[in-house]
Chains A and B, each alone.
Chain A
Amino acid sequence: EPEVTQTPSHQVTQMGQEVILRCVPISNHLYFYWYRQILGQKVEFLVSFYNNEISEKSEIFDDQFSVERPDGSNFTLKIRSTKLEDSAMYFCASSSRSALDTEAFFGQGTRLTVV
């Protein structure tokens, strides 16, 4: 069964460092998303991406965040200068149509720990 793959499963980084979280969406999907879940809290929408551009972003997705689809298979989230409060699980998701209208499939997440 096709699945969304995220790497690494766990990343530890020093405060102020840049991190790149990687995702391989399901191959025929066209819509891509990043969500964040601080331990024990809700799943928060960060950004949606379609046709090589951001289609929607939340207030959390400020200038320190960026997304990219560098090739035909990867979708990345970059955090430029990590802060302690960026520690969370980051989930990538993809869908064949907009998630406003259809199921999004989630990866297993990357646990980011900022020390």
Chain B
Amino acid sequence: GNSVTQMEGPVTLSEEAFLTINCTYTATGYPSLFWYVQYPGEGLQLLLKATKADDKGSNKGFEATYRKETTSFHLEKGSVQVSDSAVYFCARHNYGQNFVFGPGTRLSVLP
């Protein structure tokens, strides 16, 4: 079936460190892939997305590349800030079907 797996958190980094949050998905169909971010006490916000293989989504210094060969969509940022502290959700979506979310990865960035 459809599933999304993320690296377990929490991830704790110092400000300006490099961030990677791994995400892999089951290869069913040709899904679009997403990263959503949830700040404390808020709903989810779309961070970036990619709709086909080799596409790179990017926003606010974050980026992720749709890798069909490894069924991955890892989130990266070259230099994190304290304000990036949040929970990050990877998600997949096949046309006409429900979104499937990963379990979320909590990121804490220390000053």
Physical interaction between A and B: no
